[in-house]
Amino acid sequence: MQDIIQGNPTKSFFITMITRDITIEDSILDLLDNSIDGANKINPDDYSGLFIEIVINDKEFIVRDNCGGFSLDTAKKYAFRFGRPDNAPPTEGSVGRFGVGMKRALFKIGRNFEVESKTESDHFKVDVNVEQWKAKTKKITLESGVETDDDDWSFNYTNCTPENSNIDVNGTFIKVYNLYEEVSNTFDNEFLDELQDDIERLLNFSLEKGLKITLNGTQLHKKGIVLFQDTSEPYYFEGEYNNVRFRVVAGLSNVGDPKASGWYIYCNDRLVLEADTSNITGWGSGGIPKFHVDYVMFKGVVFFESKDTIKLPLTTTKKGIDATSDIYKKAQFYMKEALSNVLGFLKKVRKLGDEANDFRILLGEQEDKIAVIAIKDKAISFPRRFIAPEIDSEKIATKTSQTRIAYRVAMADAEKAKVHSDSKSLRELGEYTFEYYLKMENIKNE
């Protein structure tokens, strides 16, 4: 009889590895993604009437939704498995692909967790003490006939009754308590503000579709990306490869915040790469220059959509792109073509010298804008080339008949003044303070 050397991972090692490289924010977003996947199964186009409630404090973390829940059969075969089995049915329109998101999030946050799910046919709860679960073993018999202990990776469940349940609608309830100290200390006001911003940006399409998300009782609102579209037409290309549909859109946005320039990539409506100006999105490679402040008006968006989520070019944290995937390589060809189109125009703007910034401001002041959601959902057709705005010398001359005032102050003082004056930018603050001076000195109309 052949002797066997066991190569199974220990639970402690496995939990440590799957939680090491993900942040608390991303763990929470993973759980919200699961709720949104449920909403997508109910109605992929309209989430009206559906909600996700998040409660966070230094004692507990709770997510409650009415997005349909998952069945006991799904729990037994897939939801609590570490990794997605080969025979798992496709989760159409989702961004979950590896089968670790929910478990990774729960193990990351605390020592105890409850997962309750209610559907039309099932209502059950899984209640886990992590330390007890890690110590849980079962007897196995090796081929040599020797009986030994081995890790038991199973979870126990109980059926819910109205008396011991936390939800009375079809949906899920997740509670993590006995939080790890580093997590409990993280859950402060600054964290909550950053989490709110993450949810509003990364899940903006779901909020646009009518999903109501609340964080400690505060309703969240979408923060979409806007492509400026008044005197120009963005580059647009749509294609399909290996059952993945992709769209590349690129054009001009207002100057605004330079950190908002670059590429935005969505996978099944989930923002996974934001304001990227690295070579992974084509900058500084294949004849494309590296990002420079002269290109601050560039903004591009790529949509990947597939019913078979394993084919999406996602990393496990959903905060990056697998640049080696075939579908991404296909899309990247058109991304570079779009970059060449738009940057060719911005290079001409740079040659205006001192007038270049005035021209950028002129473009940024245009009123008509198109949000990303409109481009995606309304199938607006643009050409596979960027149609640049006209460089109007008269308008620039009018703009340059004005003068620019520049001076330096302490950043802390500038930020205080910006808050006090309700200015959205330092430029707006400068205009406010100058107008204030003119008003106070009564010299504006002299």
**Which among 171, 203, 219 is the end of a domain?**
219
Query: Is residue 406 one of the residues assigned to a domain?
Result: no
Same domain, 244 and 99: no
Q: Average the pLDDT over 374-403 and give the result.
A: 63
- CATH number of the domain bearing residue 151: 3.30.565.10
Identify the pLDDT of residue 314.
85
With a cut of 80, say whether residue 364 has pLDDT above it: no
Identify the pLDDT of residue 265.
94
Same domain, 80 and 172: yes
8 Å CB contact between 337 and 196: no
Is this structure's pTM higher than 0.85? no
8 Å CB contact between 37 and 29: no
Query: Is residue 92 one of the residues assigned to a domain?
Result: yes
Same domain, 198 and 231: no
Same domain, 96 and 54: yes
Q: What is the pLDDT of residues 245-255, one digit of tens each?
A: 999 999 888 76
8 Å CB contact between 38 and 171: yes
Query: Is residue 40 one of the residues assigned to a domain?
Result: yes
Query: Is residue 6 one of the residues assigned to a domain?
Result: no
- CA gyration radius for the chain? 26
Percent of the chain with pLDDT over 90: 43
Identify the pLDDT of residue 316.
74
DSSP character at residue 19: H
**Which among 166, 186, 219 is the end of a domain?**
219
Identify the pLDDT of residue 184.
95
Phi, psi of 214 (to 5 degrees): -120, 145
Same domain, 166 and 314: no
Same domain, 420 and 394: no
Confidence of residue 97 (pLDDT cuts 50, 70, 90): very low
**Which among 164, 187, 219 is the end of a domain?**
219
Same domain, 236 and 197: no
Structural domains counted in the chain: 3
Sign of CA pseudo-dihedral 391, 395, 401, 404: negative
Confidence of residue 77 (pLDDT cuts 50, 70, 90): confident
With a cut of 90, say whether residue 59 has pLDDT above it: yes
Identify the pLDDT of residue 186.
94
**CA 276/CA 283 separation, integer angstroms:** 9
Confidence of residue 98 (pLDDT cuts 50, 70, 90): very low
Name beta bridge partners: 270.
267
Query: Is residue 139 one of the residues assigned to a domain?
Result: yes
Identify the pLDDT of residue 430.
84
Q: Average the pLDDT over 87-92 and give the result.
A: 57
Q: Domain range holding 185?
A: 11-219
- CATH number of the domain bearing residue 255: 3.30.230
Q: Average the pLDDT over 5-20 and give the result.
A: 77
- Comparing CA positions, the residue from 200, 235, 232, 230 lying closest to residue 215 is 200
Calculate the average pLDDT of the chain.
83
Non-local (6+) Cβ contacts of 367 within 8 A are 230
Least confidently predicted of 3-12, 89-98, 112-121: 89-98
Percent of the chain with pLDDT over 70: 79
Instruction: Name the H helices within 232-378.
Output: 326-350, 356-364, 372-377
Confidence of residue 62 (pLDDT cuts 50, 70, 90): very high
Query: Is residue 1 one of the residues assigned to a domain?
Result: no
Identify the pLDDT of residue 355.
59
Query: Is residue 4 one of the residues assigned to a domain?
Result: no
Using alpha carbons only, what angle is made at residue 16 by residues 202 and 130, rounded to the nearest 5 degrees? Answer: 95
Same domain, 71 and 167: yes
**CA 262/CA 14 separation, integer angstroms:** 36
Our CA dihedral for 61, 65, 67, 73, rounded to 10 degrees, sits at 60
Give exposure, 348-383, as e/b (b: 16+ Cβ within 10 Å): ebbebeebbbbbbebbbeeeeebbbbbbbeeeeebe
List the beta strands (DSSP E) in 194-332: 212-215, 218-219, 226-228, 235-241, 244-252, 262-267, 270-276, 298-305
Same domain, 58 and 188: yes
3-state SS track over 303-333: EEECCCHHHCCECCCCCCECCCCHHHHHHHH
Same domain, 190 and 242: no
Q: What is the pLDDT of residues 142-174, one digit of tens each?
A: 666 666 667 788 899 999 998 889 999 999 999
Identify the pLDDT of residue 281.
95
Identify the pLDDT of residue 1.
42
Identify the pLDDT of residue 278.
94
Q: What is the pLDDT of residues 14-35, one digit of tens each?
A: 788 878 878 999 999 989 999 9
Same domain, 192 and 291: no
Query: Is residue 254 one of the residues assigned to a domain?
Result: yes
| Higher per-residue confidence, 182 vs 414 | 182
Q: What is the pLDDT of residues 205-247, one digit of tens each?
A: 899 899 999 999 999 998 877 665 556 788 989 999 999 999 9
Give exposure, 21-53, as e/b (b: 16+ Cβ within 10 Å): ebebbbbbbbbbbbbbbbbbeeeeeebeebbbb
**CA 11/CA 153 separation, integer angstroms:** 8
Same domain, 43 and 180: yes
8 Å CB contact between 80 and 103: yes
**CA 285/CA 213 separation, integer angstroms:** 40
